[in-house]
């Protein structure tokens, strides 16, 4: 004898049913002492509450085709493949699937009601918040640590502000992202360098940072039911009208204005190219000009790095807007001008000597290079600015033996 059980497992999918899968494996292999004479099943629904009733019939058939009969202990009919038995089994398999559908609707309805009341529905607390257990009368009972849970069904859990140092970190993250225009990856990297741990000592990551920056619980708002995986199906996003939203459910730890500024930055990331250009046109009409500083400080526009990724820098933006004039080019930083000139020189070499020189695309570590096709020699193209020193020497340096070159802040200068 051997007992197979799937305690506390959903009967909607076979993949989570280790006991049932092992039963089918042992019965079909039939090796040694596991050569069973029969399988006893409590009732028809124990195969599973599959939405396709033929799935449960398939597993029963696998056992019978291996020469092992199935006996139901709690059913009133005999499993003898008679017409009445086949009809009853088909009906009960359908009823088992329907039970799951009805239960799913009831459970979601109950959770929706509790979420609208402002209670937390399972899971651990986010960074900077803690879980507060309430007793039956709704009075604070204790702070729940990680892994602890309520013991009574009629008790509830809410969120409260966490330690002051963690609250300060959350506020710092929102300020750096919304007001200083730092990226999520940049903020995560600097927190890791400073030795500030994430939840349970883990390191900060860009994805966890973006999730934190869009969590409405930091302004005291409970939002539940944005997605659903109905009957263990694929995850689907629900429309806003079906969400459970309760404002002022928890004590906020950041202001609503700061939270909205952070969401505006995320909305800017999802703009199309034409929408980004339209916002630049608005800036140009209001300021009379466009510079990197104006774009950086404007809440209408995403960061400069986004423009660089989409259009290749400010020069590409000016060209798309039709503002490619000498005056506008003069406002572009020297570095961007050098990058554009470097790109032009590389293209000129490749176009002039197509059989001798090829371009090596840039990587995360190196800029684009040139390579000799015959020998494979890599050639780096470096650009340097030509500045006039106090001695009015332009483009070259003196050959005096006592001359030396030292770098200044914005240019190179020659000294005796």
| Stronger pLDDT, 183 or 352, i.e. the higher one | 352
Per-residue pLDDT at 61 exceeds 70? yes
Residues 30 and 135 in one domain: no
For residue 1, how far is the Cα from the chain centroid?
A: 48
Would you state the pLDDT for residue 94? Answer: 93
pLDDT digits (tens, 9 = 90+) for 273-331: 888 888 888 888 888 887 778 887 787 777 777 777 788 777 778 778 877 656 556 65
118 assigned to some structural domain: no
| Stronger pLDDT, 385 or 175, i.e. the higher one | 175
Query: E-assigned strands of 301-367?
Result: 357-360
pLDDT digits (tens, 9 = 90+) for 101-142: 999 999 999 999 999 999 998 888 999 999 999 998 889 999
Average pLDDT, the chain: 85
94 assigned to some structural domain: yes
Residues 372 and 389 in one domain: no
Q: Tokens 């001359």, residue?
A: 403
Residues 175 and 70 in one domain: no
Residues 226 and 180 in one domain: yes
- Beta-bridged to residue 405, according to DSSP, are 414
Residues 219 and 285 in one domain: no
Mean pLDDT along residues 57-83: 92
For residue 271, how far is the Cα from the chain centroid?
A: 18
Would you state the pLDDT for residue 229? Answer: 85
| Stronger pLDDT, 205 or 332, i.e. the higher one | 205
Residues 304 and 355 in one domain: no
3-class DSSP assignment, residue 7: coil
354 assigned to some structural domain: yes
Residue 169: name the closest of 200, 202, 204 by CA: 204
Q: What is the domain extent for residue 49?
A: 14-113
Per-residue pLDDT at 411 exceeds 70? no
pLDDT band at 335 (very low <50, low <70, confident <90, very high): low
40 assigned to some structural domain: yes
Residues 155 and 45 in one domain: no
Pairing of strands 236-237, 244-246: unpaired
The set of long-range contacts for 15-19, using a CB threshold of 8 Å and a minimum separation of 24, is 17/48
41 assigned to some structural domain: yes
Would you state the pLDDT for residue 326? Answer: 63
Q: Domain tally for the chain? A: 5
Per-residue pLDDT at 390 exceeds 70? no
Three-point CA angle 111, 114, 115, nearest 5°: 85
Residues 160 and 222 in one domain: yes
Would you state the pLDDT for residue 253? Answer: 95
The strand order across the sheet containing 378-379 reads: 357-360, 369-372, 378-379
User: Structure tokens of 361?
Assistant: 């695309």
329 assigned to some structural domain: no
Residues 136 and 249 in one domain: yes
Mean pLDDT along residues 87-107: 92
263 assigned to some structural domain: no
Residue 45 CB neighbours (<10 A): 19
pLDDT digits (tens, 9 = 90+) for 128-182: 999 999 998 889 999 999 988 888 888 999 999 999 999 999 999 999 999 888 8
Residues 283 and 300 in one domain: yes
367 assigned to some structural domain: yes
Mean pLDDT along residues 21-38: 82
Would you state the pLDDT for residue 407? Answer: 41
Residues 150 and 244 in one domain: yes
Per-residue pLDDT at 395 exceeds 50? no
- Beta-bridged to residue 415, according to DSSP, are 404
Contact 238, 226 (CB under 8 A): yes
pLDDT digits (tens, 9 = 90+) for 171-225: 999 999 998 888 888 899 999 999 999 999 999 998 999 999 999 999 999 999 9
Regarding pTM above 0.85, the answer is: no
pLDDT band at 398 (very low <50, low <70, confident <90, very high): very low
Per-residue pLDDT at 354 exceeds 50? yes
Residues 100 and 134 in one domain: no
| Stronger pLDDT, 229 or 19, i.e. the higher one | 19
Residue 6: name the closest of 54, 46, 56 by CA: 46
Per-residue pLDDT at 83 exceeds 80? yes
Q: Compute φ and ψ for 350, nearest 5 degrees.
A: -65, -40
Q: Can you give the CATH number for the domain in which 46 is found?
A: 3.40.50
Q: Which of 256, 283, 301 is the last residue of a domain?
A: 256
Number of residues in the chain: 416
């Amino acid at each position: 004898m051997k007992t197979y059980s799937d305690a506390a497992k959903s009967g909607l999918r076979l993949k989570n049913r280790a006991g049932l899968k092992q039963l089918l494996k042992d019965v079909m292999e039939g090796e040694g002492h596991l050569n069973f004479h029969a399988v006893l099943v409590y009732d028809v629904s124990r195969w599973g509450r599959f939405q396709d009733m033929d799935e449960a019939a398939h597993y029963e058939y696998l056992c019978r085709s291996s020469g092992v009969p199935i006996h139901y202990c709690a059913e009133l009919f005999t499993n003898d493949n008679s017409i009445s038995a086949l009809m009853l089994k088909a009906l009960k398999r359908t009823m088992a699937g329907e039970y799951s559908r009805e239960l799913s609707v009831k459970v979601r309805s109950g959770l929706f009601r509790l979420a609208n009341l402002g209670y937390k529905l399972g899971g651990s607390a986010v960074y900077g918040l803690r879980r507060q257990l309430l007793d039956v009368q709704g009075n604070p009972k204790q702070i729940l640590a990680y892994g602890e849970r309520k013991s009574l069904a009629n008790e509830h859990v809410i969120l409260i502000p966490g330690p002051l140092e963690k609250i300060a970190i959350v506020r710092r993250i929102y300020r750096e992202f919304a007001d200083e225009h730092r990226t999520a990856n940049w903020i995560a990297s600097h927190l890791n360098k400073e030795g500030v741990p994430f939840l349970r000592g883990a390191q900060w990551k860009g994805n966890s940072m973006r999730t934190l920056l869009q969590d409405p619980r930091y302004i005291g708002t409970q939002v539940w039911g944005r997605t659903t995986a109905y009957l263990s199906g694929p995850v689907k996003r629900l429309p806003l009208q079906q969400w459970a939203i309760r404002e002022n459910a928890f004590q906020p730890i950041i202001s609503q204005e700061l939270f909205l500024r952070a969401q505006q930055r995320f909305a800017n990331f999802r703009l199309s190219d034409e929408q980004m250009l339209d916002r630049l046109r608005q800036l140009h009409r209001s300021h009379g000009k466009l510079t990197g500083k104006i774009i950086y400080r404007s809440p209408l526009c995403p960061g400069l790095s986004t423009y660089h990724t989409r259009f290749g820098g400010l020069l590409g933006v000016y060209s798309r807007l039709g503002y490619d004039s000498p005056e506008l080019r003069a406002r572009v930083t020297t570095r961007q001008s050098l990058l554009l000139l470097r790109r032009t020189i590389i293209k000129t070499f490749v176009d002039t000597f197509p059989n001798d020189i090829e371009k090596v695309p840039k990587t995360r570590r190196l800029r684009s290079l040139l390579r000799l096709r015959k020998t494979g020699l890599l050639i780096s193209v470096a650009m340097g600015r030509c500045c006039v020193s106090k001695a009015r020497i332009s483009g070259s340096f003196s050959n005096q033996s006592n001359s030396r070159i030292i770098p200044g802040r914005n240019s190179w200068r020659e000294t005796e």
